[in-house]
Amino acid sequence: MYVSLPSSPHPKPRNSQFPSSDLPKIVLNHLDLSLLLSASGKQGYFLLGSSIHSSFIKNPEIFNPNEDSKDSNNALVVWNSLLGMYSRCGTLTDLTNLFDEMPMRDTVSWNTLVSGFLRDGEFDKGFACFKQMRKLSFCWFDQAILTTILSACGRVEFCYIVKMMHGLVFLNGFEKETSVGNSLITSYFKCGCVSSGRRVFDDMFERNVIYLDSYDLRVSAK
């Protein structure tokens, strides 16, 4: 696919025009596009990412999967990468519009939507999306979304959500996941639930430096 790239990737006001058609063009495949979109999101290069999106609109074949499973998977990777770019850039309107337009979604798609809302402080919308995701039989949450939600629950008023997520962790067999355990301990202490955090620490199957640092720092602060 041919993609027109702007001369500078640095972000400009969101009402800026897309690059003109006389800019240099290069040929990119699905992997190239995914990596470029990921880099655009991490660096906050909204103009670059939105320019790539405009190229998709002009070349719909790369965005519309056919019956071939490989092509469908490739297309979904690009969709999710674009979704991740808008999420990291904090453009929630573009994020939700794109999500609604996607012809297919997977766990990564939902995780990206939830994390986008939580990262921008839209907790009610993020939690609502997570609840909606749980109702879908073909899409299930993983440790990534658990740690994302737990990491966002760093205030006293979110203690009940941390406890709810703790229940989901055990009901769905994630209690042995190190990253989930780290997030649980950290979230409990940030919420002021020291005894609950200590119980998680005592019950963990495997402890590492992150566990110990998380526990020691917060206990010493009391």
Distance CA 192, CA 218 (A): 9
Percent of the chain's residues with pLDDT above 90? 32
Return the higher-pLDDT residue of 49 and 203: 49
Closest CA to 110 of 146, 74, 65: 146
Return the higher-pLDDT residue of 30 and 4: 30
Q: Where are the domains of the chain?
A: 1-139, 142-222
> pLDDT digits over 62-90, tens only?
666 555 566 677 888 889 999 999 999 99
Closest CA to 170 of 180, 161, 179, 185: 180
Which pLDDT score is estimated for 81?
Answer: 94
> pLDDT digits over 99-113, tens only?
998 888 899 999 999
Which pLDDT score is estimated for 14?
Answer: 46
- Whether the pLDDT of residue 174 is over 50: the answer is yes
pTM, full prediction: 0.74
Q: What is the dihedral of CA 144, 82, 97, 89, to 10 degrees?
A: 80
Distance CA 110, CA 95 (A): 11
Distance CA 82, CA 108 (A): 12
- Which residues does residue 26 pair with via DSSP β-bridges, in sequence order? 3
Distance CA 32, CA 14 (A): 24
> pLDDT digits over 13-64, tens only?
444 444 454 545 555 677 888 888 999 999 999 999 898 888 877 777 666 6
Which pLDDT score is estimated for 33?
Answer: 84
Percent of the chain's residues with pLDDT above 70? 73
- Which residues does residue 11 pair with via DSSP β-bridges, in sequence order? none
> pLDDT digits over 162-172, tens only?
999 999 998 88
Structure tokens, 26: 């290069």
- Whether the pLDDT of residue 215 is over 60: the answer is no
DSSP-derived 3-state class of residue 15: coil
